[in-house]
Structure 1
Amino acid sequence: MTARLHWTGVRMRTLQVMTDPDDSALRSVTLPAAWDDEAAQALAQITLNGGPVRLAAEAARWVDTIDACPPLPGTPANTPLPGRSLSYLLLMQQMAPNTALWQCQPDQTPGFTIRLSSFVQETGFAAEHFVACLRLACDALRRLHAATRIERTGELPLFDLPAQPEDEAAGLILLTDLDACLAALGLDYDSDDARNAACAIAALATTVARTGTKLSPPPIPESPLLGLQTIASSVCVADEALHFCPIETGFSSPAPTERLLGVETCGLAPAFSPLREDGHLRASTLARLACRGLTPESALALALAGETPLPPAHPQAQATMHAAIKNAVDFVPAMPEPELADLQAKLARGVRRPLPMRQTGFTQRAAVGGHSLFMRTSEFEDGTLGEISLTPPRESPMARGLMDCLGHAVSIGLQYGAPLEAFVERFAYTRFGPAGTVEGDPSTAYATSMLDYAFRTLSEAYLGKHMPDAPRIEPNSEDPAPMLPFGRSSGESPEWKDRGRRLKLVS
């Protein structure tokens, strides 16, 4: 493959990664030495084959596919093939294909994801380089669309093919890592200047994607920091005589391509925390500190003195950016709505939610009134309770069977979406034997029943609500067998034995 020649001279390294947490098999992944380990995980996830993965060989598949496509009408005869430039942009982690293009899936929409932060230089935003990258992506997508349109539509080439519809989208261009781009420009995410700059960059991308089509470009807002109006007007004048299929633009959603590019935040989302997962400062945090003339040490000193070196992002900052930028592109990812998510969870009840193959939870061994109880829990992927098991090991078979059936019934209810609060409200503080002092759990001193202890423990572990002990009540002397069916291990109570003897004598 000719695309492999584009990677000569690039320093590579090989990692052993695990793509499935339930499978101990490792895959060998070879990628540039400058890329991090998460990029290796993403590359192994994107690649379909199960053997060793080499970035140069995998990228050659889609690069050579694009190079084999005929050039578009109006392309100069001496224009080089786009494969070399595409390989270079991928190597620099500035642009990467989506999964449909990477895996050469003709039934899916191909596209490219562009990392905005990679176009910020010491002199500011490299608008000319950004436009050139957009032009290359649009040219590659339109070439591929013209060559593979028959495979995507299912038409048979038995007769003369109809002309391509000029309003049919040829692909996608997704922007990502917006917050890191704004930070490198010295802008706070939750500010008017940042929103104007984001709208200007997004509008410029849409203008390039719509150039030469019937669609009119969006207006580019005034942004003195960028000054993109002149560049946008020159783009429209240069290609106004061409008639191409449009390219849709937008901001990306979470996908393996994001990790392949090494972005800080996906799409237009802000970085609410100044720290990475490993505890180090983010690159965007360092950039914003540098714009304020602060070092990490001076910022730490201000924080210890009670001052805030960087203003935190407001919880509504992403919604404000979402509303400001939605008219500059064709689509943006949907905003997370907690109330809607709760409603969807309620509507989804009636469909049983399966537990993961590898489950987490805890096992608690305690004694209530001298009677042992084993309680085990299993959790869903998000840490919520999905299954419980209640076992009184030294009780009668009937008692063990009832407790086991109760645990199964509650587990089925939880997996069908029943709230744990309803079970806690129903079973906490229930009174029946055995009851008394709790041993083995310092958080509870007294329980009115085994179910009282179990569900108050679940409330504290999974709902974050500590329920105090119920008042102690002395056992009723008129009740001849308060522990039934939880009989003592030595057998039946004396009162019950005497009653049985009297029945035999009467018979």
Structure 2
Amino acid sequence: MANRTGTSWPTPSWRDTPWGGMALRRVRAAPEPDAAPRAVALPAAWDEEAGAALAALATGMGPVVLPILAQGWIARLVRRGTELRLLDSGRADTLALALHGLVASRRGCPGATTWRGEARAEPRFVLNLPAFLDETGGFDSAAYAKAVGVAVESLDILSGGKATRLRVGFADLAGLLAALGLAYDSVAARDVATCLAALTRGAAEAASSRIADRLGAREPAALLWPSPPAQCAVPGLAAAARRALDLAGASHGLRHQGCFALTHADAAEQLLGAETGGIAPAQGPVRYEHDETGAVTERPTRAALRAMALHGAGAAALLAPVPAAARSAMEAAVSPFLHAASPAPLATPQPARPLPPPRPAAAPSQIWRVVVGGHRVTLRATEAADGGLAEIALLSGRGVADALVQAVNIGLGRGVPLSDYVAAFAYGRHGPAAGMVEGDSAILCATSVLDWAFRRLAIAYGGEAEARALWPDPALEDCLTEQAPAPGDRGPMLPLPLPQQPSPAARRRSFRLVS
């Protein structure tokens, strides 16, 4: 591909980046619980939430491969920087490899709009603070300052070199503090946050000054700084913050009015594994989710697992919810170094609450539809977890009271055996519906709807052979009563007298003249 000067610059394949030696796994993930899942490929060591974030960051509904998706926006960024002469060909490969490395290590990436290619949206870049922990539990200040510089350069290119304010920020301060063994609501934690904010601003303005050296300064360098803490709980962090501020102050000018701004989180933070945005405190050391069986289960957060691995099981308490005053104190500690006001919290931190239990599956049931003595009857039997009878519902146009069915269900719920009800209602004459039974090959004749219903239940839940031995079909003449119609003769469906026909004279008197 050629730039405006005619020289070509190669775009490194993602296989030549840190992704090249990384094993990938395929999963199906959805950005929202109600959305259709899509196939995604991500590093084998990454969690399921990263798959959901990847599904949200990619447009369309087809399969997504994380290295290829990252290669897409990185190639667009490098191409834009080269075409606008904001980036020379020698720096293009270095910046592309640095961006791939930040994403692959889950240390940083641009916001969701850049992944989706939304050119008109204001870009942002977020750095995941816990990802900069070193093996001994310290903080890699040098790598963090370098990442801030990459973020500033990337956002300047994404804005076409025209933006005077950039939005570089960090995420998951609460997770970092817990990994360091510090309570969020403590002086030591606020000192660490102040040093981090000072390091971020100093590194960002130093990067802005390097761009100004190539393209021209638009803003004067700051001469006065808030005084960061002389020391903090993280070895070397306070000194690194002071060096970054001194380097930025010694520059000849800046390209941007501001670079350091905390923003609301989106799917980019979720992809990086950050569990809180900016300086927000944690909601608790555990999260609630549904397991494979649909039951609600309690699992520790990533921050809690990390803190317990470094400091023991008791470190999970460091992620307990804090009062609103604690967040306000943290904001006061970092705000002197921000180029823009910190966004208001989306919600006041509250203790984590369990998910609502999953909707239980419908209880198994059996339904029979028959005709007893010319009358339609529907019987539904709902089963208990052990396969026994839990309750019944009986629908008929004749002689079955809802109160009777309700009383039977109450008895079943309190352990009354079904055989007691069969003995009480079998062969009983309850209402005029009696005679031949159509639709039930096991019961051919019934003395009433209840007779058929409870003998049917005895067959279904006591075994047909045993039930037929105890409760055989009665003789046809026993099924018929004086009130029951003969088989095949339904008779009038409503036992009401027919209205008398008025005489012709009466009908004429009812006429009205309408003008």
Mark yes or no: TM-score above 0.5.
Answer: yes
Give 5+ residue unaligned stretches, structure 2. 1-10, 210-218, 290-296, 351-357, 365-378, 382-392, 415-448, 451-494, 503-515
**Shift of residue 91 of structure 1?**
0.8
- 1:231 is aligned, of 243, 246, 266, to 243
- Secondary structure, in 3 states, of the residue corresponding to 1:108? coil
Query: In structure 1, what is the equivalent of residue 410 of structure 2?
Result: 439
Task: State the 4+ residue runs in structure 1 displaced beyond 6 angstroms.
Answer: 71-77, 361-365, 432-438
Query: What does the per-residue CA deviation read over 1:451-505, in whole Å, with 9 as the maximum and x for residues that have no partner?
Result: xxxxxxxxxxxxxxxxxxxxxxxxxxxxxxxxxxxxxx99xxxxxxxxx999x99
**Shift of residue 25 of structure 1?**
6.1
C-alpha separation between the residues in 1 aligned to 2:320 and 2:327?
11
- 2:131 is aligned, of 104, 118, 137, to 118
- Secondary structure, in 3 states, of the residue corresponding to 1:334? coil
Larger radius of gyration: 2
C-alpha separation between the residues in 2 aligned to 1:501 and 1:282?
71
TM-score scaled to structure 1, two decimals?
0.56
Judged with a 3 Å threshold, the aligned counterparts in structure 2 of structure 1 residues 76 and 241 are, in CA distance, closer, same or farther, namely: farther
1:181 and 2:176 aligned: yes
Superposed counterparts of 1:89-168, under 5 Å = 89-121=102-134, 122=136, 124-146=138-160, 164=162, 166=164
Query: What does the per-residue CA deviation read over 1:79-114, in whole Å, with 9 as the maximum and x for residues that have no partner?
Result: 454111101111111012211111121121112221
C-alpha separation between the residues in 2 aligned to 1:144 and 1:74?
10
C-alpha separation between the residues in 1 aligned to 2:406 and 2:45?
64
Residue type of the partner of 1:136?
Answer: V
RMSD: 4.8
Query: In structure 1, what is the equivalent of residue 24 of structure 2?
Result: 13
Query: What does the per-residue CA deviation read over 1:136-158, in whole Å, with 9 as the maximum and x for residues that have no partner?
Result: 100111122126xxxxxxxxxxx
Query: In structure 2, what is the equivalent of residue 34 of structure 1?
Result: 45
Query: In structure 1, what is the equivalent of residue 272 of structure 2?
Result: 261
C-alpha separation between the residues in 2 aligned to 1:275 and 1:501?
66
- 1:249 is aligned, of 261, 278, 303, to 261
1:320 and 2:326 aligned: yes
- Does the 8 Å CA contact 1:47/1:53 hold for their aligned counterparts? yes
Superposed counterparts of 1:457-476, under 5 Å = none
Query: In structure 2, what is the equivalent of residue 67 of structure 1?
Result: 78
Superposed counterparts of 1:309-388, under 5 Å = 311=317, 313=319, 315-317=321-323, 319-325=325-331, 327=335, 328-329=337-338, 330=340, 331-337=342-348, 360=359
Residue type of the partner of 2:44?
Answer: A
- Secondary structure, in 3 states, of the residue corresponding to 1:146? coil
Count of aligned positions: 353
C-alpha separation between the residues in 2 aligned to 1:361 and 1:109?
45
**Shift of residue 15 of structure 1?**
0.9
- Secondary structure, in 3 states, of the residue corresponding to 1:439? helix
Residue type of the partner of 1:219?
Answer: P
Judged with a 3 Å threshold, the aligned counterparts in structure 2 of structure 1 residues 442 and 124 are, in CA distance, closer, same or farther, namely: same
- Does the 8 Å CA contact 1:274/1:281 hold for their aligned counterparts? yes
Q: Identity rate of aligned residues, in percent?
A: 22
Give 5+ residue unaligned stretches, structure 1. 148-163, 300-307, 340-358, 366-371, 375-391, 398-431, 444-488, 491-499
Query: What does the per-residue CA deviation read over 1:215-255, in whole Å, with 9 as the maximum and x for residues that have no partner?
Result: 958735414223144223233135442333533511543x2
C-alpha separation between the residues in 2 aligned to 1:113 and 1:338?
22
Judged with a 3 Å threshold, the aligned counterparts in structure 2 of structure 1 residues 2 and 200 are, in CA distance, closer, same or farther, namely: same
- Does the 8 Å CA contact 1:31/1:40 hold for their aligned counterparts? yes
Residue type of the partner of 1:62?
Answer: W
TM-score scaled to structure 2, two decimals?
0.55
Query: What does the per-residue CA deviation read over 1:434-454, in whole Å, with 9 as the maximum and x for residues that have no partner?
Result: 9989727969xxxxxxxxxxx
Superposed counterparts of 1:275-286, under 5 Å = 281-282=300-301, 284-285=303-304
Superposed counterparts of 1:383-402, under 5 Å = 394=395
